[in-house]
Amino acid sequence: MTSAQNNVTVIGGGIVGLASAWELAKDGASVIVVDPGEPKFCTSLANAGWISPSHIIPFAAPGMVQTGVKNLLGRTGAFAMTPGAGPLLAAWTLKFARSCTDAHVEHSAPALKELLDTSIGIIGGLTETTDLKRTHLPLWYLYTSDNAEHDAAHEVELLTRYGIDAKRFDPTEAVKQEPILKSSVKAVVAFEGDFGVDPGKLVEIYRRNCELLGVTFRKENVTGISHTSRNVTISTATDSWVSDYAVLAAGAWSRELAKYVGEALPILAAKGQSVTLPGVPNMPERTFMLADQRIATNPLDWGLRMSTGYTLTSTKDLAINSKATAKLIATAREVLNLPDTFEKKNELAGVRPAAPDGLPYIGALPKAPRVIAATGHGMLGLMMGPGTGKFVADMVSGRSVSRDILKFSPARPRL
């Protein structure tokens, strides 16, 4: 069967769902996207907007357990856990710790590279054919602590080992080129290919492109999924309908929805927050990682986006924490010259869908082969969403995907 004969329901209208819907519609499928909208709909808007070809090392990598423990003990707020994460937390953490090995990195890096390269090709196309803008200068990791020299050298050594183009840059020259930087910057690592986009704009463009191809949007909460060998039935509070396939792209909520077809996807919600500050003087021309403060920044047209936080929590924990916002801005001042007050902070919060091995789930659910998972992208969903959509369309159309992309199958060991 080809997509032209398929009708497909995409559950979730974040970046991954929209990218899947667009690719399926381009293939000729008849597509419905179902999403309740706010308050759940926010993660794909709240993020830092980084598109980073250098991020081919999974989040579960050697050294991450020590970093996490350091952050927990140091109470930087960058990494935290709450009881809201529920009983899965213990098994999730154990699987995460077990995945932090060189062997896991060797296994995953080629697959993440193919997914990222595919996404970046699609985003590149969108910057040429739509009003999507991107930054053009390399991302800088900025180090300010007493260990700055050592940490920057370690970063370059680690990433070079995996073939990533990471180079040291003179911090004095950096402060000259980007006057928003304070002289507290002691070491800089530059990533040539990494850039930033406005995530809200990318989502808007995907939605517009979907509408142009006749995708139907339903503003509803999916409350049930059932399947046979021939089709999938999707239910909401007021209706139910049958599709040839369903794409499960409900971000951090995908675990709850997968249960309807008897699948246990070990996805936890990892909350983060962002602010976008308009009127910042000396707006930078590139994305920064304030490495010691764990803050990502991105100069958007309408303000400086800054984001932080990775709190394993409940999918219901969607409120903006104003103390966390104040801390984010105060901490950023260690590195950036920022005005004393802001007229608006444009705060947003989102929950990342975090899989314990740091890899997304892309592929048919073993117990419900007509339900294609497209979820679990954790910290990298914006940059991997476009490629995920392309591979989802390949799978629904029966086109083959590479052995590396098959590594994302939900049939892999989960916990």
Ligand X SMILES: Cc1cc2nc3c(=O)[nH]c(=O)nc-3n(C[C@H](O)[C@H](O)[C@H](O)COP(=O)(O)OP(=O)(O)OC[C@H]3O[C@@H](n4cnc5c(N)ncnc54)[C@H](O)[C@@H]3O)c2cc1C
CB of 4 to ligand X, least distance (A): 25
User: Could you tell me the two tokens for 349?
Assistant: 């919060």
CB of 387 to ligand X, least distance (A): 11
CB of 320 to ligand X, least distance (A): 11
Chain centroid, CA 300 distance in Å = 18
Q: Which residue, 171 or 381, is less far from ligand X as judged by CB? A: 381
Rounded Cα distance between 36 and 12, Å, is: 8
Chain centroid, CA 193 distance in Å = 18
295 Cβ contact list (under 8 Å, min separation 6)? 289, 306, 307, 308, 328, 331, 332, 335
Note the maximum CA span of the chain: 63
User: Could you tell me the two tokens for 284?
Assistant: 């930078």
Q: Which residue, 144 or 254, is less far from ligand X as judged by CB? A: 254
CB of 149 to ligand X, least distance (A): 27
Closest alpha carbon to 415 in 144, 111, 87, 103? 87
CB of 413 to ligand X, least distance (A): 22
Measured between alpha carbons, how far is residue 85 from residues 58, 268, 351, 413 in Å?
22, 7, 12, 21
Q: Which residue, 251 or 410, is less far from ligand X as judged by CB? A: 251
Question: How many Cβ atoms sit within 10 Å of the Cβ of residue 42?
Answer: 18
Q: Which residue, 171 or 389, is less far from ligand X as judged by CB? A: 389
Interface residues toward ligand X, by CB under 6 A: 11-17, 34-36, 40-41, 43-44, 46-50, 221-222, 249-253, 257, 272-274, 296, 307, 350, 352-353, 375, 377-383, 385
CB of 336 to ligand X, least distance (A): 18
User: Could you tell me the two tokens for 205?
Assistant: 């463009």
CB of 183 to ligand X, least distance (A): 27
User: Could you tell me the two tokens for 405?
Assistant: 């992309």
Q: Which residue, 171 or 196, is less far from ligand X as judged by CB? A: 196
Measured between alpha carbons, how far is residue 199 from residues 91, 203, 206 in Å?
32, 6, 11
Q: Which residue, 180 or 222, is less far from ligand X as judged by CB? A: 222
Q: Which residue, 139 or 185, is less far from ligand X as judged by CB? A: 139
Q: Which residue, 171 or 210, is less far from ligand X as judged by CB? A: 210
CB of 47 to ligand X, least distance (A): 3
What backbone torsions phi and psi does residue 38 show, to the nearest 5 degrees?
-65, 155
The CA-to-CA distance between both ends of the chain, in Å, stands at: 34
Q: Which residue, 189 or 379, is less far from ligand X as judged by CB? A: 379
Q: What DSSP letter does each residue of 99-165 carry, written as one string?
A: H-SHHHHHHHHHHHHHHHHHHHHHHHHHHHHSS--B--SPEEEEE-STTHHHHHHHHHHHHHHTT--
Q: Which residue, 181 or 392, is less far from ligand X as judged by CB? A: 392
Question: How many Cβ atoms sit within 10 Å of the Cβ of residue 37?
Answer: 12
Mapped onto helix, strand or coil, the DSSP state of residue 360 is: coil
CB of 174 to ligand X, least distance (A): 21
CB of 92 to ligand X, least distance (A): 16
